Chain A
Amino acid sequence: MNKLLVVSPSPHTHSGESTSRLMFNVVLALVPAFAVTLFYFGMGALVVTLISITSCLLFEYLIQKFLLKVKPTISDGSALVTGLILAFNLPSNLPWWIVVIGAIIAIGVGKMSFGGLGNNPFNPALVGRVFLLISFPVHMTSWPLPIESRMSYINAVTGATPLAIVKEGLGKGDTMSVISEQIPSHMQLFMGTMGGSLGEIAAFALIIGFVWLLVTKVITWHIPVSIFTTIVAFTGILWLINPQTNADPLFHLLTGGVMLGAIFMATDYVTSPMHPKGMWIFGVGIGLITVIIRVWGAYPEGISFAILIMNAFVPLINRYVKPKRFGEEVKKNG
């Protein structure tokens, strides 16, 4: 029985969980929303998504291979997820070269400049999106109409998002009962029949993705639920105070990027807190900032900024908010 044996410290077994499996499940969770956007925006959605994914993967590969001179890690799936989420944050008629710029900012500035996966303080896809929103405000806020623009890419028929209609209407002094005639019903909002970024429109499809992420234990419920709760509570109070000058909470939940942001972007591992207590602080912060921007800010939608702002607080939250240690309270009492 003379055999060379492997000697290593415990544990001698592993769950089999891996970064690429987690990323793959995020991609799967985005499939329903992608199917819906193909139905509503057709051609444009397909083109923008493909360009975004390809350029994110390509830039990650090029930067790792030639600038950082390390072994490229595009097979871990994180650049694929960034590409998908960036595309989901763009209008489906965005010219291809703007998508490419978004990708280089997301991967190059948002991720690689900090050292790659695991080191970036801000959500890379959102860095790309916000850069584009500020640099190309016209392109980034012309929203193709669903279904009608299915067969076209650049020359799609455009219109305003429900949030923008409400913001403009309230700004002019109209009451909600007047405005509500120009915006889709709650059922239409739930099914995604509205203008908007290509992946953010269909709440039901994003919720299916949320369930998938929970079932496969990729994320926990804390961040999305804390964001939803805060938004519903905050806008609910405003709505109860004056339903004529404030949209109802359900409208706020179903429009804009709340679903996409709360489920897929705020939950990004690298840029969110590590345990439930911190996640609640993070989620409540995002909810509050989103509503403040929507109701009192210059932009009709604020979740991207809200997530980025709260991303900046994550290191502080991780440093000062600690999980409950076993045996801690007993010691204080005794």
Chain B
Amino acid sequence: MLKTFPKGGVHPAENKLSASRPIEVLPLPEQVSIPIAQHIGAPATPVVAKGDSVRVGQLIAKSNGFVSANIHSSVSGVVESLDPILDSTGYKKPAITIKVEGDEWMEGIDRTADVKKEISLSSEELIVKINEAGIVGLGGATFPSHVKLAVPKGKKVDVLIINGVECEPYLTSDHRLMLEKADELMVGIMVLKKVLGAERALIGIENNKRDAIAHLKNVSTGYPGIEVYPLRVKYPQGGEKQLIKALIKREVPSGGLPIDVGTVVHNVGTTLAVYEAVQKGKPLVERIVTITGKGVKNPGNYLVRIGTPISKLIEAAGGLPEDVGKVVNGGPMMGKAINSVEAPVTKGTSGVILFPSKESLRGEAQPSCIRCGKCVSACPMGLEPYLLNQLAQRRLYDRMEPERVVDCMECGSCSFVCPANLPLLDYIRLGKTEVFAMIRARKS
């Protein structure tokens, strides 16, 4: 029996169209727009001015507080403007736009492919390096990594969990990374283990990536304390709480963090970024992005400089198909639909999916819930989406709090299974926002 989380979950069609396409380097664009808020927490503060020349890896916006992250230039060239641009949220957000000239990197960045295995720095020095490199969770949540690595006093981490699940349909960037960068990944895990003082590191991978599982099992024999586990193909297997439950049978308490049960979870992409930052001196200036969709000519996986317009990625994959109704930044279950393909790739962009028009519109919602209970069975958090939906529609927000709406991680399983096509998650999100506002008002 494969390990999995016990309650709920769904199995959407996997559609991993780009799984066999090796990572290619996307050609440099003419211009990049790098938003100063690509992470959860305070936006970074720009430290360059219009007209400044910058090189790849140069700090252009400085972390603004503990929960924040540095931003580095992903190209060499001249800063054109600091004006807001339309980003993938559809809103104008402050960003640093740079006109590309050549490809000059900062000194001290080792761009060779040699894998450097010895970790010479101390645990404290490692955290400083990771913080400086502006690393955030590359799985999509974009939470600053150094925050997760600072273990609070009195807490202990005995197991480090590496998330190679990639349970979202279509996306294959983590899959390719595990196949092509296994040794770098292993050294990254050793770095994280050292920082956290964890004895064991467990890599969880969904069982639809057998080649990656076999390859990592093989490579991990050269590194102490790293174990690879295949997991059942079930969404949201890669949800942080679900993954912890599946691998080490510990349940993160409601409102708590993984550290409360002695573990920390990092995505494989983040781990590779940690390796590059610590061992090669390279800040987070590029990431692997999947470009895919049923109408896409050449679905693939590309190494993309942060700030590159999504349209460049689409061009590389054979151009925008004739029939395209929706472009999603991220996976089909939790990704965000974007309104312009000129929005930049950011640290959190794991993939871009193009949907044909007939798959872009939602099905017509039925007049009412038929009370089939499928949403209750599908909810991995043990919530009752049908009830939360009703309460939100009737604006009974105070009743949503004891029904634990704040535990909802917005995985979308309820809306996915609903035979009446009800927009359950839309109403739950609304209720969640209201309940968070209520909680804030109570505290102040």
Interfacial residues, chain A to chain B (CB-CB below 8 A)? 1, 3, 5-15, 17-19, 21-22, 70, 73, 76, 78, 115-119, 220, 269-270, 272-275, 318, 322-331, 334
A11 and B376 contact, CB distance less than 8 A: no
A327 and B407 contact, CB distance less than 8 A: yes
A9 and B429 contact, CB distance less than 8 A: yes
Q: Would you give 24 A-B contacts (Cβ < 8 Å), ordered by A? A: A3-B341, A5-B339, A6-B326, A8-B362, A10-B337, A12-B355, A13-B333, A14-B363, A17-B419, A76-B366, A118-B368, A118-B371, A270-B370, A274-B373, A274-B384, A323-B376, A325-B382, A325-B404, A326-B251, A327-B251, A327-B255, A330-B251, A330-B252, A330-B253
B425 and A327 contact, CB distance less than 8 A: no
B2 in contact (CB, < 8 A): no
A6 and B337 contact, CB distance less than 8 A: yes
Q: Which residues of A contact B360 (CB under 8 A)?
A: 6, 12
The 3 closest A-B pairs by CB, nearest first: A11-B412, A118-B368, A274-B373
A6 and B376 contact, CB distance less than 8 A: no
A325 and B254 contact, CB distance less than 8 A: yes
Residue on A nearest B373 in the bound complex, by CB: A274
Q: Which residues of B contact A7 (CB under 8 A)?
A: 90, 326, 337-339
Residue on A nearest B414 in the bound complex, by CB: A11
Residue on A nearest B375 in the bound complex, by CB: A274
B355 and A326 contact, CB distance less than 8 A: no
Q: Which residues of A contact B342 (CB under 8 A)?
A: 1
Q: Which residues of A contact B418 (CB under 8 A)?
A: 17
B338 and A5 contact, CB distance less than 8 A: yes
Distance A78 CA – B410 CA, assembled complex (angstroms): 31
A17 and B382 contact, CB distance less than 8 A: no
Q: Which residues of B contact A115 (CB under 8 A)?
A: 368
Q: Which residues of A contact B421 (CB under 8 A)?
A: 14, 18
Residue on A nearest B411 in the bound complex, by CB: A11
Residue on B nearest A12 in the bound complex, by CB: B332
B42 in contact (CB, < 8 A): no
Given contacts A21-B419, A118-B369, A274-B386, A1 and B311 within 8 Å (CB-CB): yes
Q: Which residues of B contact A6 (CB under 8 A)?
A: 325-326, 337, 357, 360-361
Distance A15 CA – B359 CA, assembled complex (angstroms): 12
Question: Which of A11, A76, A318, A330 has the largest count of B CB atoms less than 10 A from its CB?
Answer: A11
Given contacts A17-B374, A18-B421, A327-B251, A11 and B416 within 8 Å (CB-CB): yes
A117 and B368 contact, CB distance less than 8 A: yes
Q: Which residues of A contact B327 (CB under 8 A)?
A: 5
Given contacts A116-B367, A327-B253, A8 and B376 within 8 Å (CB-CB): no
Contact of B328 among A12, A117, A118, A269 (CB under 8 A): A12
Residue on B nearest A314 in the bound complex, by CB: B371
Given contacts A274-B371, A274-B384, A328-B382, A11 and B254 within 8 Å (CB-CB): no
Given contacts A325-B381, A325-B407, A22 and B372 within 8 Å (CB-CB): yes
Taking chain A's interface residues, is the majority helix, strand, or loop, or is none over half, making it mixed?
Answer: loop
Q: Which residues of B contact A324 (CB under 8 A)?
A: 7, 382
Question: Which of B336, B374, B383 has the largest count of A CB atoms less than 10 A from its CB?
Answer: B374
B415 and A11 contact, CB distance less than 8 A: yes
Distance A115 CA – B371 CA, assembled complex (angstroms): 14
B380 in contact (CB, < 8 A): yes
Contact of A11 among B334, B357, B374 (CB under 8 A): B334
Residue on A nearest B379 in the bound complex, by CB: A323
B419 and A10 contact, CB distance less than 8 A: no
Total A-B residue contacts, Cβ distance less than 8 Å: 179
Taking chain B's interface residues, is the majority helix, strand, or loop, or is none over half, making it mixed?
Answer: loop
Given contacts A220-B377, A330-B253, A323 and B384 within 8 Å (CB-CB): yes
Residue on A nearest B333 in the bound complex, by CB: A11
A154 → B minimal CB distance (Å): 37
A10 and B335 contact, CB distance less than 8 A: yes
Distance A118 CA – B371 CA, assembled complex (angstroms): 6
A327 and B412 contact, CB distance less than 8 A: no
Q: Which residues of B contact A19 (CB under 8 A)?
A: 366, 370, 419-420
Residue on A nearest B320 in the bound complex, by CB: A1
B381 and A14 contact, CB distance less than 8 A: no
Question: Which of B339, B373, B383, B384 has the largest count of A CB atoms less than 10 A from its CB?
Answer: B373
A202 → B minimal CB distance (Å): 27
A81 → B minimal CB distance (Å): 11
Q: Which residues of B contact A118 (CB under 8 A)?
A: 367-371, 420
B251 and A9 contact, CB distance less than 8 A: no
Interface size range of chain B in the complex: 35 or more
Contact of B252 among A116, A270, A274, A327 (CB under 8 A): A327
Q: Which residues of B contact A73 (CB under 8 A)?
A: 366-367
Contact of B419 among A18, A325, A326 (CB under 8 A): A18
Distance A73 CA – B13 CA, assembled complex (angstroms): 30
Add 12 more A-B contacts to A3-B320, A21-B419 (CB < 8 A). Answer: A3-B324, A8-B362, A10-B425, A17-B374, A22-B419, A318-B387, A323-B384, A325-B407, A327-B252, A327-B381, A328-B382, A331-B256
B314 in contact (CB, < 8 A): yes
B10 in contact (CB, < 8 A): yes
Q: Which residues of A contact B374 (CB under 8 A)?
A: 17
Q: Which residues of A contact B367 (CB under 8 A)?
A: 70, 73, 116-118
Distance A325 CA – B381 CA, assembled complex (angstroms): 6
Contact of A14 among B320, B362, B372, B377 (CB under 8 A): B362
B46 in contact (CB, < 8 A): no
A331 and B253 contact, CB distance less than 8 A: yes
Q: Which residues of A contact B429 (CB under 8 A)?
A: 9
Residue on A nearest B235 in the bound complex, by CB: A11
B3 in contact (CB, < 8 A): no
Distance A99 CA – B241 CA, assembled complex (angstroms): 55
A74 → B minimal CB distance (Å): 13
A82 → B minimal CB distance (Å): 13
B29 in contact (CB, < 8 A): no
Q: Which residues of A contact B384 (CB under 8 A)?
A: 274-275, 322-323
Distance A17 CA – B417 CA, assembled complex (angstroms): 7
Distance A118 CA – B366 CA, assembled complex (angstroms): 10
Question: Which of A70, A116, A327, A329 has the largest count of B CB atoms less than 10 A from its CB?
Answer: A327
Given contacts A119-B368, A326-B7, A10 and B334 within 8 Å (CB-CB): yes
B154 → A minimal CB distance (Å): 13
Residue on A nearest B330 in the bound complex, by CB: A10
A9 and B426 contact, CB distance less than 8 A: yes
A328 and B254 contact, CB distance less than 8 A: yes
A11 and B370 contact, CB distance less than 8 A: no
B225 in contact (CB, < 8 A): no
B166 → A minimal CB distance (Å): 16
B197 in contact (CB, < 8 A): no
B165 → A minimal CB distance (Å): 17
Q: Which residues of A contact B425 (CB under 8 A)?
A: 9-11
Residue on B nearest A7 in the bound complex, by CB: B337
A269 and B371 contact, CB distance less than 8 A: yes
